[in-house]
Every structure is written in structure tokens, then in C-alpha cells.
Amino acid sequence: MLDERPTFVYDGDCGFCQRSVAFYAARDPENRLRYASNLVEPLILENPDRVAQAKREVILFQNGNVYGGSEAAIRAWLVLRPKSLLKIFLAKPLNYVAEGCYRLVAKNRLLISRLLGIPATCGIQPKAK
């Protein structure tokens, strides 16, 4: 059967990204999201444009839509916590603030990983259902 859960794709080589996904997964006991590395996810590997996108930001595939960056991260969180106040960051002009913060962290994620002592790769295994 086709897995219809939203798919949250992250950088499989980035320790910061892996830790972030682990944070989401720890708060997802009902397995509402499917977590996939950009290194193995067919939705990414079959599309060259998505490969480039997945190297610079997280991606969320949800209900036939594709979201990237801060919008993907926020929408993934809203799958887990639908009443979260983070939804205000999807509306203008706060979406620009969220995306700016996201871009700053994404651009420096490998440095942040090193500063926090997070290994570049730690092989987070997505939860099976």
C-alpha cells in the first residue's frame, strides 16, 4: 500500500539536519510524518531539480504539494502540532522572517554542527510503521 503520510526529506549528510529530524521524530509517536534522507528518497532522486533543492533545504511532500525551507519545516511541525502558534510564520510578512532565519541556519549548518559537536553523519533511522 502506498504510504500517504507527508514525507519530510532532510540532508542525510548533515548532522544538524539529522538532529533536527530526530527532534521531530521524538515528538511523533503516531508516525504522522515519514522521514527520508535526500540520499535515498526516490521523490528526490528521480528529479534533478529536487536533488539541487534537497542539498540546500528540507522538503515536505504533502497532499500533492511540495514545500521547501522554513515553510516545509513549519508545515511538518503543524502535522505534529496542528494548534501550534508557529502557523503565524506561514503568513506574510512573518514568512519572510522565518525564511531569513532558516536560510541563515541552513547556510551555516555544517559549522553549527561542528560547534555543537554533532558528527557530520550519524545515520538516523526513520521509524518504521
Average pLDDT of 60-85?
97
CA atoms of 55 and 97, how far apart (whole Å): 21
- Model pTM score: 0.86
**2 within a domain of the structure (yes/no):** no
Are 23 and 127 in contact by the 8 Å Cβ rule? The answer is no
Are 33 and 8 in contact by the 8 Å Cβ rule? The answer is yes
CB neighbours (10 Å) of residue 104? 10
Locate cell 521524530: which residue? 25
**39 within a domain of the structure (yes/no):** yes
**91 within a domain of the structure (yes/no):** yes
Closest Cα to residue 125, out of 30, 57, 34?
A: 34
Average pLDDT of 52-79?
95
Q: Is the pLDDT of residue 2 over 70?
A: no
**29 within a domain of the structure (yes/no):** yes
125 — pLDDT class (breaks 50, 70, 90): very low
**58 within a domain of the structure (yes/no):** yes
**Dihedral (CA of 49, 53, 55, 56) sign:** positive
How large is the C-alpha radius of gyration of the chain? Answer: 14
Residue 60: give the domain boundaries.
7-115
What is the per-residue pLDDT across 76-97, written as a single tens digit (0 to 9) for each?
Answer: 999 999 999 999 999 999 999 9
Closest Cα to residue 33, out of 1, 88, 84, 73?
A: 73
